[in-house]
Amino acid sequence: MIGSIRLLFLALLLFTGQALADQMLMARINMKADLAIEYLKTAVDEHGYAVAHIQKCDSGLGGFGFHSDTYRVLFIGKLAEIRDISAKHPEFVAYLPLKIVVEAEKGETVMVAVDPLTFNRYYPNDQEMQIQFQRWRNDILSIFNDVHKAAGGAVALGTHPD
Amino acid sequence: MHLRGLMLLFLLLSSQALFARPDGKALYIEKCAACHQFAGGGGIGLPLSAEKFRDYSDDYLFKTIRLGRPGRIMPAFEDMSDAQVQSIIAFLRTRTQTRERVYDTSPLNGDAGHGRVLYTRNCIACHAEDGLGAGQGTGVTLSRKRSFLVMPAAIANPGFQQAATDRMIRQIITVGRESSGMPAWGKQLSEKDIDDLVAYVRVLGKQVPKRPELAEDEPPSHVYESPYDFETTVANIKATLVGNNFRIFPDRFLEQGVTDEFEVNRKQIGVRFCNFNELYGMLKIEPRLGVVLPCRVTIMERPDGKVILVVPNLRVISRWFNNDQLVELWDHMEETFNEIIEEATL
């Protein structure tokens, strides 16, 4: 049975073996940010996470010469996971709850999260944590995909932002 | 046994997917569009315009995707097969309606000494003395006015140096980049002058300082034990942060928002803080920084009564972005964080 679980884990790694070229998971969708945030909240909820908090970061950006309409950070988490990890791995609470950045680029929206597999190297012998990181990664990608589908699945076809 | 069979079937199907003919458009959307935008207009990444692609060889594009730009946000895509990278290039060729420009790969024999004089006179304002590009940030988003589309190229960057041949660099200098304001130097300089400039660009590539390395055992966060009780520790941290010119946000319990107010553990609190001048300066350098913001010290009372403080290791975090400007800033900020914790737990 344990052999099968290991095989499943390997299969998942192969199947979702997206670029570890970068430590960020990113998606761009052809939808305005305020609407994308609503879809994102729904997708987060449907994946069993709670939106703990939304941090608004854009109110002062214009005054500093920035040109972004919206910049938000969504904090998402599951109570059971936060309790379990804070008890067993208090050092990891620095990264909880998980965060998703939503950034407007005119009529498009970019979503960014740290790739949870980034943390694998710090828990090389902890299979439980490694499975947790893989699960978070799968969920974040699935959440991004749901928002992408909600935008009609169309890729952003715009040209240079002016 | 049945489960094992299913797993093997799943692995087989996955491996078949790996050997299928790659779809360049799908790969571009998956790997590139988030930064470069689907139409290549650019965002966090630079625009991928026909004007540029006309001067690029496919070998340059291949090496650029493979090697990335170390320390300049663009990651190295080492996980893709050669066929996958080539399919992305083929897609980009179709989309930009350009054909590969093939260059003789033999090196030019310019005079780097004279090239330096020309570089100082004509190039330094945009590409900087070290060839790593003047100004902060990259791409067209957030940090830049929309009317100014690109950061000057980091021509000394090891990724560019390995990807570009001498003759391709000569071509770019000769024709310039109208969209980003780079003049066509072929109208002002002789062919020999431009060869001399290329020679100096190669010298700059050899002078790039080694990137700051991180120790293998560097932890992702720091855990400190407080000699004080929970409430005193929280009060000390806040007082120290204010003393260091940080603005403090309202406290948030670690579990706040994921459970109701009666269930939440009140002995796990995040003291969140920010210095907006520094924050906006950092967002100029790295638009994705929000994934690790705001700065926070988490204070927890453990079941044995010990009070601990947990802070992220900024030296580790800053390296997630492949952005050397951020690394430099946050290595310094890490020291400030440590001093704050030390002061609060004295």
Q: Which of B279, B293, B298 sits opposite A94 (nearest CB)?
A: B298
Helix (H, G, I), strand (E, B) or coil at A112: strand
Q: Which of B84, B6, B11 is nearest to A14 (CA)?
A: B11
Integer angstrom CA distances of residue A25 from A18, A29, A99: 9, 13, 11
pLDDT for the residue numbered B60: 98
Q: Is B159 on the interface with A (CB under 8 A)?
A: no
Q: Which of A84, A94, A108, A85 is nearest to A28 (CA)?
A: A108
Q: Is B136 on the interface with A (CB under 8 A)?
A: no
Q: Which of B22, B17, B83, B80 is nearest to A15 (CA)?
A: B17
In tens, the pLDDT along B224-262 reads 999 999 999 999 999 999 999 899 999 899 999 999 989
Q: Which of B29, B283, B298 sits opposite A93 (nearest CB)?
A: B298
Return all residues near B31 (Cβ < 8 A) that are at least 6 apart.
Answer: A19, A21, B77, B80, B88
Q: State how far the Cα of B39 lies from the Cα of B47, in Å rounded to an integer.
A: 9
Q: Hey, are the CB atoms on A103 and B142 less than 8 Å from each other?
A: yes
Which residues of chain B from 168 to 227 reach within 8 Å of chain A, CB to CB?
A: 219-221, 223
Strands B247-248 and B221-226: unpaired
Q: State how far the Cα of A20 lies from the Cα of B94, in Å rounded to an integer.
A: 27
pLDDT for the residue numbered A17: 30
Place of tokens 């406290």: B251
H-helix or E-strand spanning residue B251: none
Q: State how far the Cα of A115 lies from the Cα of B135, in Å rounded to an integer.
A: 28
Q: Is B81 on the interface with A (CB under 8 A)?
A: no
Token representation of residue B91: 């897609």
| Per-residue DSSP letter, B346 | -
Report the gap between the CA of A103 and the closest CA in chain B (Å): 9
Q: Is B255 on the interface with A (CB under 8 A)?
A: yes
Q: Are B101 and B55 in contact (CB under 8 A)?
A: yes
Q: Hey, are the CB atoms on B37 and A92 less than 8 Å from each other?
A: no
Which residues of chain B from 262 to 301 reach within 8 Å of chain A, CB to CB?
A: 263, 265, 268, 276, 279-280, 283-284, 287-288, 290-294, 296, 298, 300
Q: Are B210 and B324 in contact (CB under 8 A)?
A: no
In tens, the pLDDT along B172-210 reads 999 998 877 889 999 999 999 999 999 999 999 999 888
Q: Is B126 on the interface with A (CB under 8 A)?
A: no
pLDDT for the residue numbered A1: 47
Helix (H, G, I), strand (E, B) or coil at B307: strand
Using a CB-CB distance cutoff of 8 angstroms, which residues of chain B are in contact with residue A100?
291
Q: State how far the Cα of B268 lies from the Cα of B259, in Å rounded to an integer.
A: 13
Q: Which of B181, B185, B180 is nearest to B169 (CA)?
A: B185
Give the number of other CB atoms < 10 A from CB of residue A85: 19
Q: Are B111 and B17 in contact (CB under 8 A)?
A: no
Which candidate in B37, B179, B309 is best for mutational testing of the A interface (most A CBs within 10 A)? B37
Token representation of residue A57: 């970061």
Q: State how far the Cα of B43 lies from the Cα of A160, in Å rounded to an integer.
A: 9
Q: Which of A15, A61, A66 sits opposite B14 (nearest CB)?
A: A15
Q: Are A60 and B280 in contact (CB under 8 A)?
A: yes
Q: At what angle do helices B58-67 and B82-96 cross, to 10 degrees?
A: 120
Using a CB-CB distance cutoff of 8 angstroms, which residues of chain A are in contact with residue B306?
none
Q: Hey, are the CB atoms on A94 and B146 less than 8 Å from each other?
A: no
Tally C-beta pairs within 8 A across A and B: 202
Q: Hey, are the CB atoms on B310 and A93 less than 8 Å from each other?
A: yes
Token representation of residue B199: 């020679």
pLDDT for the residue numbered B142: 60
pLDDT for the residue numbered A162: 29
Task: Tell me what ipTM this predicted complex has.
Answer: 0.85
Q: Hey, are the CB atoms on A161 and B140 less than 8 Å from each other?
A: yes
H-helix or E-strand spanning residue B310: strand B307-312
DSSP one-letter string for B12-72: HHHHHHHHSPP-HHHHHHHHTHHHH-TTS--SSSPP--HHHHTT--HHHHHHHHHH--TTB
By CB atoms closer than 10 A (0-12, 13-18, 19+), residue A17 is: exposed
Q: State how far the Cα of A124 lies from the Cα of A116, in Å rounded to an integer.
A: 14
Q: State how far the Cα of B203 lies from the Cα of B155, in Å rounded to an integer.
A: 11
Task: Kindly calculate the radius of gyration of chain B based on its CA atoms and give it in whole angstroms.
Answer: 25
Q: Which residues of chain B have pLDDT under 50?
A: 1
Q: Is B135 on the interface with A (CB under 8 A)?
A: no
Max distance between CA atoms of chain B, in angstroms, equals 77
Integer angstrom CA distances of residue B338 from A119, B220, B221, B223, B319: 22, 14, 11, 11, 18
Beta bridge partners of A161: none
Which residues of chain B from 51 to 80 reach within 8 Å of chain A, CB to CB?
A: 68, 75-80
Using a CB-CB distance cutoff of 8 angstroms, which residues of chain A are in contact with residue B223?
90-91
Using a CB-CB distance cutoff of 8 angstroms, which residues of chain B are in contact with residue A1?
3
Q: Which residues of chain A have pLDDT under 70?
A: 1-21, 60, 62-69, 153-162
Which candidate in A8, A91, A99, A140 is best for mutational testing of the B interface (most B CBs within 10 A)? A91
